[in-house]
């Protein structure tokens, strides 16, 4: 038997329900900018509620920088301080490049949890869902860069390019990383599980970041390896970032970074949007 | 068994929320949806009833523009599914089988986000979110992350997110799966209130009681095909008007009991999946009394019996159990 109080409670709920449902108006669908900002807000809220996810942009850079400076410094350059001048721009590139893969993992989680389906039935400009979270990722990459450069400075890193050079270097890294992220969004949409996705990302990123000019001068390598290192996009970026930080940046170096970024975006952004729209 | 065909169920084209013809969706070699014809009248609840893997979810995902059909056509409020996706998306909403909510965000944040994505301004989205949280009895949980919600609360916030702007057509995929009875009743109340305000609801369920309680019309789906369609009463009538259900004390007496009933009363007897129950199609209450006394004469003890219209469970078992051996019916044959 339903008790009197429970009955009253139920009636009150029904009343509120009916009112809430009936009072609903029908606003115009949001603009592309509004929906992009909403998705960016979502990503920021996620950082607020799950601060652990910031480990990759705070702890990783610190560990990487300390580890490689003191591990290789003496052996490769004779002294850690000298090596740091060479290493820091490169390891900054490497760290941020590795962080980009989390973009794909977040998207993959959305798909498996079903919220992706809800977004896809909304009357919105669909790419805004991706661009919104990529914008927040750019904030994360900036944070990793600032942390790493600050620590480097404390360890004795002295960029000859000055503040403007450092800022320019960060901008180059952000442009490149934003473009690189589209590769992971494609993978995130295709691959079924987070584990497989991690594996693919590592398989691509590990050789790409290590077989580059991040750690060593490619002139010391066998010639077949040297020619690969020279065309490796990570090397292209590391060269430009080094140039910017040490005041030797050339227009050609910037143009190469932009060309690589445009190519990655032009190929993988449309594929991402197509897959997003037509996901089974 | 006869398929339910309702000639009186005819309406103007403008009355339809969904009109689908011969929908097909194939995954590899598996025909997940295999020629589904469907008409759903505006402002009603339509139930898809079927076991796991019958093609209910796939059909919903096709109709909600999430999957492209491999065959057939459909109109949602007169808009072509293949050409007018945006028109359709602005009128529908989908609540998937798994809570399609960001679990790391709070209930309030989720609803505000949905409001913004539906086109509300920042302030209006907050007002609407607060209103919905209150209506759904979640105001106390507004500032908690959804991952800390109970199953029932999760389901409610999920439905709330679907009706931030009340949709004209709401798809609910197994809205009460895994809920306790009280939460289930709350979800049912919400669905009734929605329909009361004019929303059309298409829901899938494995629970016959749910279809019975909520749906104006029911389609029974099995292996991607609609094997029966009609109101709950029509479906029950298609199986038989009266059913005597008996539960015996001793399992070993069941075959003898079935024999006696078939011989003396000449009725069809079905053995149920458990070892002690059987049902018989009987239209006459005097025969029921006779059946019981026949069993008593033969010293067969009955622990429980009931007489009435068949439950949807029985309808379902009869329909799906015999579907394979039946000749293909013209209405549902592969088109």
Quick one: what percent of chain B has pLDDT higher than 70? 88
Candidates A3, A22, A27: best to mutate against B (most CBs of B within 10 A) is A27
- pLDDT tens-digit readout, B223-281: 888 988 888 888 877 766 677 888 888 888 888 888 888 887 777 788 887 888 888 87
Mean pLDDT computed over every residue of chain B: 83
Of the given ranges (A9-23, A54-68, B10-24), which has the lowest mean pLDDT? A9-23
- The number of distinct structural domains making up chain B is 2
> A17 contacts in B (CB within 8 Å)?
135-136, 189-190, 193
The pLDDT confidence band at residue B328, using thresholds 50, 70 and 90, is: very low
pLDDT of residue A23: 58
In degrees rounded to 5, what are phi and psi of residue B217? -135, 155
A179-229: pLDDT as tens digits = 999 999 999 999 988 899 999 988 999 888 888 888 888 888 888 888 889
Using an 8 Å CB-CB cutoff, list chain B residues near A48.
none
Nearest to A86 by CA among A100, A99, A98, A68: A68
- Interchain CB distance below 8 Å, A280 and B67: yes
Residue of B193, B201, B202 best to disrupt the A interface, most CBs of A under 10 A: B193
Mean pLDDT of A225-241: 91
CATH number of the domain bearing residue B28: 3.40.50.300
Predicted TM-score (pTM) of the model is 0.78
d(CA B35, CA A213): 59
| Residue B23 burial class via C-beta count within 10 angstroms: exposed 0-12, middle 13-18, buried 19 and up | buried
Question: What are the CA-CA distances from residue A24 to residues B124, B128, B165, B196, B325 (Å)?
Answer: 11, 8, 6, 14, 50
Measured CA distances, B59 to A219, B46, B331 (Å): 61, 13, 18
- The whole-number pLDDT of residue B70 equals 92
Residue B179 in domain: yes
Structural domain spans, chain A: 31-278
Which of A14, A27, A117 lies closest to B94 in CB terms? Answer: A117
Count residue pairs from A and B with Cβ separation < 8 A. 125
Please judge whether B124 and A27 are an interchain contact, meaning their C-beta atoms are less than 8 angstroms apart: yes
Q: What pLDDT shows up at residue B306? A: 80
pLDDT digits (tens, 9 = 90+) for A89-148: 998 999 889 888 888 888 888 888 888 888 888 888 888 988 998 899 998 899 999 999
Q: Do B304 and B209 lie in a common domain?
A: no
Which residue reads 């990302």 in tokens? Answer: A201
Domain boundary among the residues B208, B237, B266 is at B237
Per-residue pLDDT of B151-164, as tens digits, reads: 889 888 998 998 88
**d(C-alpha B194, C-alpha A123), whole Å:** 21
Question: Phi and psi of B195, rounded to 5°?
Answer: -65, -35
Neighboring chain B residues of A123 at a CB cutoff of 8 Å: 86, 89-90, 118-119
* Residue range A68-101, pLDDT digits in tens: 888 877 777 777 888 888 889 998 999 889 888 8
- Shortest distance between the Cα of A237 and any Cα of chain B, in A, equals 35
Task: Considering only residues B325 and B150, tell me which one the structure prediction assigns the higher pLDDT.
Answer: B150
Residue ending a domain, among B186, B202, B237, is B237
* Residue A167 to residue B163: CA distance in whole angstroms: 46
CATH number, domain containing residue B257: 3.30.70.2250
In a domain, B6, yes or no: no
> Distance from CA of residue A171 to its chain's centroid?
14
B330, part of any domain: no
Minimum Cα–Cα distance from A121: chain B residue: B89
Cross-strand pairs, B221:
B226
Task: Decide if A48 touches B, using CB distance below 8 A.
Answer: no
- A157-172: pLDDT as tens digits: 999 988 999 999 999 9
Predicted confidence band at B96 (pLDDT cuts at 50, 70, 90)?
confident
pLDDT band at B100 (very low <50, low <70, confident <90, very high): confident
Which stretches of A73-114 are DSSP H helices?
A: 80-99, 101-113
Asked if A19 is an interface residue toward chain B (Cβ–Cβ < 8 A), one would say yes
pLDDT at residue number B8: 43
Backbone angles phi, psi at A28, to 5 degrees: -70, 145
Task: Report whether B206 contacts B50 (CB < 8 A).
Answer: yes
Q: Report the pLDDT averaged over residues B74-95.
A: 88
The answer on pLDDT for A238 being more than 50 is yes
- Residue B256: both structure tokens together: 């003898």
Residues of A in contact with B202 (CB under 8 A): none
Q: Considering only CB atoms, which chain A residues are within 8 Å of B193?
A: 14, 17-18, 21
In this predicted structure, the answer to whether residue B329 has a pLDDT above a threshold of 50 is: no
pLDDT at A14: 67
Q: Do B102 and A27 touch (CB under 8 A)?
A: no
Residue B192 domain boundaries? 13-237
All residues of chain B having their beta carbon less than 8 Å from the beta carbon of residue A41 are 113, 116
- On whether both B189 and B250 belong to a single domain, the answer is no
Query: Does B11 score more than 80 pLDDT?
Result: no
Would you state the structure tokens that stand for residue B259, as one six-digit string? Answer: 């024999």
Do B201 and B257 have their domain in common? Answer: no
* Shared-domain flag, residues B57 and B81: yes
Note whether residue B284 is domain-resident.
Answer: yes
Report the C-alpha gap between A43 and A28 in whole angstroms: 24
Looking at the domain assignment, is residue B319 inside a domain? no
Of B27, B66, B136, the CB nearest to A117: B66
Query: Nearest residue on chain B to A26, judged by CA atoms?
Result: B165
Would residue B45 count as lying in a domain? yes
What mean pLDDT comes out for the span B165-171?
Answer: 90
Helix (H) or strand (E) holding B297: helix B285-297
Angstrom distance (rounded) from CA B288 to CA B299: 17
SS3 of chain B: helix, strand, coil, percent, to 5: 40, 25, 35
How many C-beta atoms surround the C-beta of residue A122 within 10 A?
Answer: 23
Query: What are A47's two structure tokens?
Result: 């950082």
Q: Which runs of consecutive H residues, i.e. helices, occur in chain B? A: 56-63, 85-89, 107-117, 122-135, 151-162, 181-196, 208-214, 232-239, 254-265, 285-297, 312-323
Tell whether B191 and B255 lie within a shared domain. Answer: no
Residue A24 has a pLDDT of 60
The dihedrals phi and psi of A236, each to the nearest 5 degrees, come to: -60, -45
């Amino acid at each position: 038997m339903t008790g009197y109080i429970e009955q009253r409670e139920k009636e009150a709920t029904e009343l509120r329900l009916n009112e809430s449902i009936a009072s609903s108006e029908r606003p115009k669908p949001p603009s592309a900018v509004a929906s992009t900002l909403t998705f960016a807000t979502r990503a920021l809220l996620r950082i607020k509620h799950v601060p652990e996810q910031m480990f990759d942009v705070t702890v990783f850079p610190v560990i990487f920088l300390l580890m490689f400076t003191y591990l290789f410094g003496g052996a490769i350059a004779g002294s850690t301080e000298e090596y740091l001048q060479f290493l820091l721009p490169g390891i900054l590139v490497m760290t941020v490049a590795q962080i980009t893969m989390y973009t794909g993992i977040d998207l993959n989680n959305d798909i498996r949890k079903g919220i992706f389906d809800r977004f896809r039935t909304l009357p919105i400009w669909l790419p805004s869902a991706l661009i919104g979270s990529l914008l927040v990722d750019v904030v994360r990459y900036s944070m990793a860069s600032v942390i790493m450069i600050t620590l480097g400075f404390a360890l004795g890193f002295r960029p000859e390019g000055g503040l403007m050079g450092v800022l320019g270097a960060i901008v180059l890294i952000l442009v490149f990383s934003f473009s690189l992220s589209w590769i992971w969004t494609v993978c995130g949409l295709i691959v079924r599980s987070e584990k497989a996705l991690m594996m693919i990302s590592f398989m691509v990123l590990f050789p790409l970041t290590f077989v580059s000019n991040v750690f060593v001068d490619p002139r010391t390598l066998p010639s077949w390896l040297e020619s690969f290192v020279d065309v490796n996009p990570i090397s292209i970026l590391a060269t430009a970032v080094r140039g910017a930080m040490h005041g030797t940046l050339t227009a050609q170096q910037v143009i190469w970074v932009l060309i690589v970024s445009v190519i990655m975006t032009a190929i993988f952004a449309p594929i991402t949007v197509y897959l997003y729209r037509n996901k089974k | 068994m006869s398929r339910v065909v309702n000639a009186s169920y005819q309406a103007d084209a403008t009355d339809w929320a969904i009109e689908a013809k011969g929908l097909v969706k194939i995954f590899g070699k598996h025909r997940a949806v295999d020629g589904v014809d469907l008409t759903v009248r505006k402002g009603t609840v339509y139930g898809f009833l079927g076991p796991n893997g019958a093609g209910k979810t796939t059909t919903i995902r096709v109709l909600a523009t999430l999957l492209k059909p491999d065959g057939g056509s459909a109109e949602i409020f007169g808009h072509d599914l293949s050409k007018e996706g945006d028109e359709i998306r602005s009128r529908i909403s989908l609540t998937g089988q798994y809570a399609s909510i960001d679990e790391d965000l709070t209930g309030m944040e989720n609803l505000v986000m949905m409001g913004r994505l539906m086109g509300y301004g920042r302030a209006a989205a907050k007002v609407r979110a607060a209103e919905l949280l209150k209506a759904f009895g979640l105001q106390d949980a507004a500032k908690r992350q959804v991952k800390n919600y109970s199953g029932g609360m999760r389901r409610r916030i999920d439905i709330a997110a679907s009706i931030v702007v009340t949709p004209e057509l709401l798809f609910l995929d197994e809205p009460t799966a895994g809920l306790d009875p009280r939460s289930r009743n709350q979800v049912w109340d919400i669905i009734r209130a929605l329909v009361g305000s004019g929303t059309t609801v298409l829901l899938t369920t494995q629970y016959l009681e749910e279809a019975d309680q909520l749906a104006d019309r029911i389609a029974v789906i099995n292996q991607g095909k609609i094997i029966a369609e009609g109101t709950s009463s029509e479906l029950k009538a298609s199986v038989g008007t009266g059913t005597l259900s008996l539960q015996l004390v001793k399992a070993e007496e069941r075959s003898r009991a079935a024999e006696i009933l078939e011989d003396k009363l000449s009725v069809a007897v079905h053995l149920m999946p458990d070892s002690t129950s059987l049902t018989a199609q009987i239209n006459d209450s005097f025969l029921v009394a006779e059946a019981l006394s026949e069993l008593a004469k033969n010293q067969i003890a009955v622990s429980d019996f009931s007489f009435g219209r068949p439950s949807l469970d029985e309808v379902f078992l009869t329909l799906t159990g015999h579907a394979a051996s039946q000749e293909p019916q013209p209405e549902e044959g592969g088109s």
